[in-house]
């Protein structure tokens, strides 16, 4: 058997009184794609932060090609060829795409000056390999979340890494871009590069990985070839109980008048001439590739920033939405695509984050504010030791439920949901799906954006497809297939 490239033996790590890892062993062979899975808080990122030298273990050994690494740090890890593409993007918004890719290792010309033409050309080549040749001189701060994720991946590929750790690399990518990424991973494997692939999307494991290791509560549960791990068994290992039906059954077809209706909504360089409606009790899916204008459309409906042209009706009444406060007063809620930067105040207590849109109702009544927050946490099974703890201390799935719960407290009637399950585990996803279906059953109108096509197909009553800022078609639930959606998403006819 080929000796491991990376071997981690009996790794333990604690933070204060909480044990994150408890005697975990893990290995990666040369040229293999090894999936690392588990619920939020299982210890996946902690283990990989130790593998990349960011954290030091309390106990255990790390070996690289059989040689012990007693004092591994990030610089030594980089010298060995270990690259980490983090889920939380680590880019400099003010610098260009090319500068971010080669940050700290710019190609040099004579007199040790930066070789700008060579850097731009190489950046363009790397991004073209990933299927999205972005302009190398464009500031990263002007890119979408999906485009920034591609820059992160290109940065890992820029120096000849021997082990690339990818933490949720497809969280912000469309189905088309995911397939492009898998092609890149296949080329890395052919060159003998190893990949550790952390994901909550179980289908991706079967599309790209050779082996899979499951962590639960800081311990290794199982490690086996993917070919020997059927999906139901994998889910059981991850959550510790038998798998359930992923998507709850749809409710009766909505028949009431539209709650939200838009006509010819436009915003320069973001989206043009968008018209649609959504009824009470309906889930309207919004599909398309990254850059299609879906996020920008939802943010415009929330007034962040507003659309530049077009008309909006709420309950058949024409309205103007100039800022988020206008939207909130009309009963419109936004669950943003990036909960950390757009949806939460990480250092603030859970209950503060819950009552943000409803604070006027609880003014000078802090005890009622806290009591209502605690009741909502219990209703939605938000797992936290207390409502006074910082929301940043919660797992990704529980943070996402806080974002959803605040709009229940605000009594919203229209829910604009942008990637509501991004970065959360399979168990938390099922709970969010149940909540979305429950909202619709209570009469809420839901507009759902997701880059996981399976998610849109599994939840939506109708699907609207966008391409380059325009609506290219609409599909009822019975006619919506992956092929039909992708044809429209790439600019083809239905």
What would the DSSP string read from start to end of 229-280? Answer: --HHHHHHHHHSS----SSPPP-SPP-S-EEEEEEEEEETTTEEEEEEEEET
CA-closest candidate to residue 77, choices 54, 55, 52, 57: 52
The answer to whether 193 and 34 are in contact (CB under 8 A) is no
Measured between its terminal Cα atoms, the distance across the chain in Å is 51
How far is Cα 329 from Cα 334, in angstroms, rounded to an integer? 13
Q: Where are the domains of the chain?
A: 6-239, 258-489
Do residues 12 and 23 make contact, with C-beta atoms less than 8 angstroms apart?
yes
114's torsion region: left (phi>0), alpha (psi -120 to 50) or beta?
Answer: beta
The more confidently predicted of residues 367 and 193 is 193
Q: Which of left, alpha, beta for 284 (phi over 0: left; psi -120 to 50: alpha)?
A: beta
Q: Which residues contact 415 (CB under 8 A, 6 or more apart)?
A: 333, 335, 407, 436, 439, 444, 445, 446, 447
The reply to whether 6-239 and 258-489 are identical in fold is yes
Average pLDDT along the chain:
88
Distances in whole angstroms, Cα of residue 343 to Cα of each of 174, 291, 294, 306, 404: 21, 21, 17, 18, 10
DSSP 440-492: HHTT-EEEEE-S-HHHHHHH-SEEEEEETTEEEEEEEGGG--HHHHHHHHTT-
Can you tell me the distance from the alpha carbon of 395 to that of 400, in angstroms, rounded to the nearest whole number?
9
Report residue 155's pLDDT band, with 50, 70 and 90 as the boundaries. Answer: confident
pLDDT tens by residue, 326-383:
999 999 999 998 888 888 998 998 888 898 888 777 665 677 778 888 888 888 888 8
Q: What is the pLDDT of residue 243?
A: 55
pLDDT tens profile 44-98: 989 999 999 999 999 999 999 999 998 899 999 988 999 888 766 778 999 999 9
Q: What pLDDT, on the 0 to 100 scale, is given for residue 473?
A: 94
CA dist 191 → 122, 185, 439 (Å):
19, 10, 49
Kindly report, residue by residue over 295-319, the tens digit of the pLDDT: 999 999 999 999 999 999 999 999 9
pLDDT of residue 137: 93
Q: What is the pLDDT of residue 252?
A: 85
Average pLDDT over residues 373-402: 84
Angstrom CA distances, 151 to 54, 127, 270, 377, stand at: 21, 7, 21, 37
Q: Which residue has the higher pLDDT, 182 or 146?
A: 182
Q: What per-residue confidence (pLDDT) applies to 218? A: 92
CATH 3.40.50.300 fits 6-239, yes or no: yes
- pLDDT cut 70: percent of the chain above it: 95
Burial 187-212 (b: 16+ CB within 10 A, else e): ebbeeebbbbbbbbbbebbeebbbbb
Question: Is residue 416 helix, strand or coil?
Answer: strand
**Mean pLDDT (whole number) for 463-483:** 92
Centroid of chain to Cα 478: 28
Name the most confidently modeled range: 94-108, 263-277, 384-398.
Answer: 263-277
Does the pTM surpass 0.85? The reply is no
DSSP track, 303-363: TSSPPSEEEEEETTEEE---SHHHHHHTTEEEE-S-IIIII--TTSBHHHHHHGGGGGGGT
| Cα(89)–Cα(151) distance, integer angstroms | 10
Question: What is the pLDDT, as a whole number, of residue 338?
Answer: 85
Query: For residues 226 and 209, is the Cβ–Cβ distance under 8 A?
Result: yes
What is the rounded CA–CA span in Å between residue 322 and residue 308?
Answer: 10
> Comparing 200-204, 288-292, 328-332, 441-445, which segment has the lowest mean pLDDT?
288-292
Q: Is the peptide bond before 440 cis (omega within 30 degrees of 0)?
A: no
Q: Is 115 helix (H, G, I), strand (E, B) or coil?
A: coil
**Per-residue pLDDT at 293:** 92
Q: What is the pLDDT of residues 255-280, one digit of tens each?
A: 778 999 999 999 988 899 999 999 99
Give whichever of 90-104, 208-222, 233-247 has the largest mean pLDDT.
208-222
Percent pLDDT > 90 in the chain is 49
Which range is least confidently modeled, 134-143, 222-231, 424-433, 466-475?
Answer: 424-433
Confidence of residue 241 (pLDDT cuts 50, 70, 90): low
Residues forming beta bridges with residue 317, ordered by sequence position: 314
Read off the pLDDT of each residue in 124-138 and give the average, rounded to a whole number.
84
Beta bridge partners of 471: 466
Give CA–CA dist 166/38, Å, rounded: 15
pLDDT at 26 over 90: yes
User: Hunting for tokens 């439920």 — which residue is that?
Assistant: 401
pLDDT at 368: 78
Distance between CA 392 and CA 389 in Å, rounded?
A: 8
Q: Which two tokens stand for residue 264?
A: 């010819």
Q: What per-residue confidence (pLDDT) applies to 242?
A: 61
H-helix or E-strand spanning residue 216: strand 211-216
- 349, two tokens: 């207590």
CATH of domain 258-489: 3.40.50.300
Decide if pLDDT at 159 tops 70. Answer: yes
- Choose the weakest-confidence range: 7-11, 57-61, 167-171, 197-201: 167-171
* Residue 291 neighbours by CB under 8 Å, 6+ apart: 144, 146, 147, 468
Residue 494: what pLDDT? 56
Average pLDDT over residues 375-403: 85
Residue 444: its pLDDT value, please?
94
């Amino acid at each position: 058997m080929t000796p491991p490239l990376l071997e981690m033996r009996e790794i333990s790590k604690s933070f204060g009184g909480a044990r994150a890892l408890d005697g975990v062993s893990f290995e990666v062979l040369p040229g293999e794609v090894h999936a690392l899975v588990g619920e939020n808080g299982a210890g996946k990122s902690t283990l990989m932060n130790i593998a990349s030298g960011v954290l030091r273990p309390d106990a255990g050994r790390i070996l690289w090609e059989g040689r012990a690494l007693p004092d591994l740090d990030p610089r030594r890890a980089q010298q060995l060829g270990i690259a980490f593409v983090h889920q939380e993007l680590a880019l400099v918004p003010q610098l260009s795409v090319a500068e971010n890719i080669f940050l700290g290792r710019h190609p040099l010309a004579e007199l040790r000056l930066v070789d700008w033409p060579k850097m731009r050309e190489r950046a363009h080549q790397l991004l073209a390999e990933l299927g999205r040749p972005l302009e190398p001189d464009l500031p990263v701060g002007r890119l979408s979340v999906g485009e920034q994720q591609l820059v992160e991946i290109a940065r890992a590929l820029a120096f000849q890494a021997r082990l690339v750790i990818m933490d949720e690399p497809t969280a912000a990518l469309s189905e088309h871009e995911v397939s492009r990424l898998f092609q890149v991973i296949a080329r890395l494997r052919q060159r003998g590069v190893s990949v550790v692939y952390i994901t909550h999307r179980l289908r991706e494991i079967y599309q790209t990985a050779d082996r899979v290791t499951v962590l639960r509560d800081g311990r290794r549960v199982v490690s086996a070839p993917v070919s020997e791990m059927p999906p139901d068994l994998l889910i059981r290992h991850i959550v510790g109980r038998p798998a359930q039906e992923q998507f709850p059954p749809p409710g009766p077809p909505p028949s009431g008048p539209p709650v939200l209706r838009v006509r010819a909504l436009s915003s320069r360089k973001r989206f043009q001439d968008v018209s649609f409606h959504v009824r009470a009790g309906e889930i309207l899916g919004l599909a398309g590739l990254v850059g299609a204008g879906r996020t920008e459309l939802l943010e415009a409906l929330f007034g962040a920033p507003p659309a530049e042209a077009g008309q909006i009706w709420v309950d058949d009444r024409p309205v103007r939405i100039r800022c988020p406060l206008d939207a909130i007063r009309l009963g419109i809620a936004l669950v943003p695509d990036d909960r950390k930067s757009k949806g939460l105040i990480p250092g603030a207590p859970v209950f503060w984050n819950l009552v943000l849109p409803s604070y006027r109702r609880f003014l000078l009544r802090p005890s009622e504010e806290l009591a209502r927050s605690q009741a909502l946490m219990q209703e939605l099974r938000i797992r936290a030791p207390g409502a006074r703890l910082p929301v940043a201390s919660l797992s990704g799935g529980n943070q996402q439920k806080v974002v959803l719960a605040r709009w229940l407290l605000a009594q919203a009637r229209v829910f604009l949901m942008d990637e509501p399950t991004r970065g959360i585990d399979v168990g938390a996803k099922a709970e969010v799906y149940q909540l979305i279906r429950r909202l619709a059953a209570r009469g809420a109108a839901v507009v759902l954006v997701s880059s996981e096509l399976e998610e849109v197909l599994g939840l939506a009553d109708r699907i609207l497809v966008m391409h380059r800022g325009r609506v290219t078609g609409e599909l009822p639930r019975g006619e919506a297939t992956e092929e039909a959606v992708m044809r429209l998403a790439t600019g083809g006819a239905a």
